[in-house]
Chain A
Amino acid sequence: MKSYKELPDDAGSNIIGQVTAQANRLSERLASVKYTVAIMSGKGGVGKSAITANIATALTLAGSAVGIVDADINGPTIAKMMGVRNATLEYAPTGVKPAITPLGTKIISMDLLLSEDDAPVLWNAHTQKDAFTWRSTMEVGALREFIGDTEWGELDYLLLDLPPGSDRLPNVVELIPNLGGVVVVTIPSEVSHLIVKKSITMARDVLKVPIIGIVENMSFYVCKHCGEHEPLFSAADTPDNTFQLTTLGKIPFDPKLSHCSDSGTSYLNEHPDTPASKAIIELAQKIQNFFNT
């Protein structure tokens, strides 16, 4: 009786061929992207999406062609922050045309596909029972299509806004083996540091992905009356010492940044002279330097 290896194929389904074709679509699309950068933390609520949106805007204002993949399939916020939530996507046989901000940043997000504000991502299935067995696969498939089936055109930077969890970056690296680098976002709290350390270990030691550096968001609050820096959190140590990584920036808390995120307007355009805007622009320059030197 013939063995498994002696049988010529899988009876005609060519599953390996189908998977290879998916991977080829992805790599062909990414051929026109110079640098892919994942913005991650591991910890939720540290401002990854706001940082991603503002890095994208800073890079766009500096003359780069930039796209964002909202990789937070179940909690997408990038479309709102970038003011394109009402965009209607167009598709052609060659790919889906992304939403484009007035400044020219290209966006793809699950939020652009959902029916209502309160609609969760719900996948078609005979039953939702035991959905844990396949939901993650569906989400990775969605991410693969977002990256590979969007008509990005020529991009200098494709930013991926990752959801919380140290398990998310491995999925991205599976899809983009030559990921250009990772920007890690934290806040100055011991709780955040505890989780972010796990993500850094995953990126640096397990996946061997280049870490561009760390951003400390909501580092301090600038008193609007006296200009003094007041701490918001209570981490005992600096991110430089805690993580042994290049600190790309310390972004002060600014309610105006939150307001711009809510209204989908550009904080850097509307408030270019604030300490937070200056820190974000410097952060974007350091990312450019990472790739250009």
Chain B
Amino acid sequence: MKFLCIDCDTAMKFKDVTRPEQGSVTAVFECPDCFTEIAMYLNPSETQMLKSMDLKLGGNSEAAQPMQMVRSQLETAKQDSMSNTISETGSEETVEGGKCPFTGVISDAFEEKSEPEPDSLTWTPEALERLERIPSFVRPMAKMGIESFAKENGHTEITGEIMDAARGNFPAQF
């Protein structure tokens, strides 16, 4: 896939990708000339296809780990099937609970958000209700933008007022 900024006639560059939410990944691309951003949404099937091919949007900067796709994607894997690792220096490391030591590396682009991060933002019911009214195809992008705005301005809770303040920055109305 390639993306062109029509105004600048310039190839857009990958900027960011979200972890899947409800099975869908959002990738952001930016024009290097005018800095216009676009979001590309992959539906769950497309996201899963990418996972199954062990490919990463935005490129793979990490060295491939042995059997990384199987180890990170096999849901019915036994916990101790590969419980020992041998580091590059040759010393053996035991992995607690048999969890894959490369999970952090592997899941960069694909692991579903299962728990809120410690510093994550909370949404008030009113704000969530307004978020739900945003058309679904732009909702992930709007949510990302509002959260980014809130973090940049030191807020930990997203309210209707913060949404109003953030609204000027986004094309979608909410």
- Against A, the Cβ 8 Å flags (1 = close, 0 = not) of B42-54 are 0011011101111
**By the criterion CB–CB under 8 Å, are A25 and B64 in contact?**
yes
C-alpha spacing A145/B58, complex, angstroms = 22
**Given A13-B59, A115-B78, A124-B75: A91 and B85 interface contact (C-beta under 8 Å):** yes
Q: How far is the CB of B2 from chain A (nearest CB, A)?
A: 4
**Given A126-B47, A134-B52, A137-B53: A12 and B67 interface contact (C-beta under 8 Å):** no
What A residues does B6 contact at CB under 8 A? 1
What A residues does B86 contact at CB under 8 A? 90-92
What B residues does A11 contact at CB under 8 A? 1-3, 11-14, 29
- In-complex Cβ contact of A14 among B29, B59, B76 (8 A): B59
C-alpha spacing A119/B74, complex, angstroms = 11
- Against A, the Cβ 8 Å flags (1 = close, 0 = not) of B78-109 are 11111111111000000000000000000000
C-alpha spacing A2/B44, complex, angstroms = 30
Q: Which residues of B contact A (CB under 8 A)?
A: 1-4, 6, 9, 11-14, 20, 22-24, 29, 44-45, 47-49, 51-60, 63-70, 72-88, 112
The 9 closest A-B pairs by CB, nearest first: A126-B23, A12-B14, A115-B78, A92-B86, A149-B66, A138-B52, A137-B52, A119-B76, A7-B2
Query: What would be 21 A-B contacts, judged by CB atoms less than 8 Å apart?
Result: A2-B11, A4-B2, A13-B57, A17-B59, A21-B60, A89-B81, A90-B82, A91-B65, A95-B66, A113-B70, A113-B74, A116-B76, A122-B76, A123-B74, A124-B51, A124-B72, A126-B24, A126-B48, A127-B23, A142-B69, A145-B66
